[in-house]
């Protein structure tokens, strides 16, 4: 029965998360679990910043059959289609569905025939069938993924149901990996600034940016450019002309990318992208989402991080001191600490 196989896959993926894997290791192992039950030729999964849906860490089942400069152009076009185009089954669209999963063969034909992703990026590689999903839990998306097959055999209804049955576990495992701290060096001194073209092509960088970029490229080739294309595409599509995302740098410290569209100058379509170490608020907000806290628990925690007393928290949030203590007790349980000091240390380490 596929239900039994799905339950076994959920247990295997959950066990990986409790083992403290980083995201690339987690996704590579989870792809192997899925591949045993839903065979595919290629797969591509990515962690996303749950606040912006920008892809921040990409793992392929096997090396993508496009390399070098071609890969940069390829991913640039993918980011454009995913964030600014009118593509079938975008990940943002999937999040609005009761089941955040879809195969391309179920999309309206008129959408498929004009799809850049399907016709220009996948079919030339021999990948005719796509099954993609958003990894959602507690109404937040922590990752997205697609698996692909060559022509001749589409994904069956049972295979769609199988992958759908493990997406929440994949989301929980992803946010568990986000909580794991593996810094291997000091945090970057920022900000570093790069100037990008309309689609994310790198045009200029400060000396600090050049050094930072070299470190990221050595540690994880392509990591920054993939996130850069995504955040620039989102900024281009946004009415505000800005977008931001949190990602890990070469030393696994959290940084914040922000792209802002220029409105004056010789080329108003250029983007200024700043990269800065994540602030205490940025990192705490991300980790609190990863620990599954409620909105009110988050408010209480941010007050604690600001150094507020119980009475001050109660006054600022218009709740009783007793309610503050209840929220703190729940926070301690979810984060796995026993005191305010431990809570602060866990969220700011």
Residue 265 above 60 pLDDT?
no
Q: What is the pLDDT of residue 205?
A: 78
Least confidently predicted of 58-72, 138-152, 159-173: 58-72
Give the confidence band of 267 by pLDDT, cuts at 50, 70, 90.
low
What average pLDDT score do residues 83-108 get?
Answer: 93
Q: Which pTM value belongs to this model? A: 0.89
Q: Which helix (H) or strand (E) holds 56?
A: strand 55-60
Model confidence at 213: pLDDT above 90: no
Q: Which domains does the chain have, with CATH numbers?
A: 2-179 (3.30.450.40), 192-279 (3.30.450.20), 293-348 (1.10.10.10)
pLDDT tens for each residue of 191-200: 777 777 766 6
Residue 188, pLDDT score: 65
Average pLDDT over every residue of 22-47? 94
Q: Which residue pairs, CB below 8 angstroms and at least 24 apart, start in 1-9?
A: 2/37, 2/158, 2/161, 2/162, 3/165, 5/37, 5/162, 6/37, 6/161, 6/162, 6/165, 6/166, 9/33, 9/34, 9/37, 9/162, 9/165, 9/166, 9/169
pLDDT at 136 over 70: yes
């Amino acid at each position: 029965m596929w239900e039994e196989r799905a339950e076994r896959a959920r247990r295997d993926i959950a066990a990986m998360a409790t083992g403290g894997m980083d995201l690339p290791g987690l996704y590579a192992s989870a792809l192997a679990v899925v591949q045993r039950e839903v065979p595919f030729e290629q797969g591509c999964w990515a962690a996303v910043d749950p606040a912006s849906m920008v892809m921040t860490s990409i793992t392929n089942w096997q090396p993508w059959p496009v390399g070098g400069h071609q890969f940069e152009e390829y991913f640039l076009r993918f980011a454009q289609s995913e964030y600014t185009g009118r593509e079938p089954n975008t990940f943002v669209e999937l999040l609005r569905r009761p089941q955040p999963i879809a195969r391309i063969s179920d999309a309206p034909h008129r959408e498929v025939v004009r799809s850049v992703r399907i016709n220009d990026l996948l079919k030339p590689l021999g990948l005719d069938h796509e099954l993609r999903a958003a990894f959602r839990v507690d109404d937040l998306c922590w990752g997205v993924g697609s698996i692909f097959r060559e022509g001749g055999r589409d994904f069956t209804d049972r295979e769609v149901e199988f992958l759908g049955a493990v997406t929440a576990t994949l989301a929980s495992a992803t946010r568990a990996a986000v909580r794991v701290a593996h810094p291997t060096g000091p945090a970057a001194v920022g900000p570093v600034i790069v100037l990008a073209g309309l689609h994310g092509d790198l045009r200029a960088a400060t000396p600090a940016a050049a050094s930072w970029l070299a470190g990221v490229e050595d540690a994880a080739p392509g990591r920054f450019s993939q996130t850069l294309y995504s955040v620039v595409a989102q900024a281009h599509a946004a009415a505000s002309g800005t977008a931001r995302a949190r990602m890990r740098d070469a030393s696994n410290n959290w940084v914040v990318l922000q792209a802002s569209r220029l409105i004056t100058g010789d080329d108003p379509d250029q983007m200024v992208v700043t990269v800065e170490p994540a602030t205490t608020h940025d990192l705490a907000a991300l980790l609190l989402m990863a620990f599954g806290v409620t909105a009110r628990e988050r408010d209480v925690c941010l007050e604690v991080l600001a150094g507020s007393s119980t009475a001050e928290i109660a006054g600022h949030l218009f709740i009783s001191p007793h309610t503050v203590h209840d929220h703190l007790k729940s926070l301690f349980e979810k984060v796995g600490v026993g005191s305010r000091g431990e809570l602060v240390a866990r969220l700011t380490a």
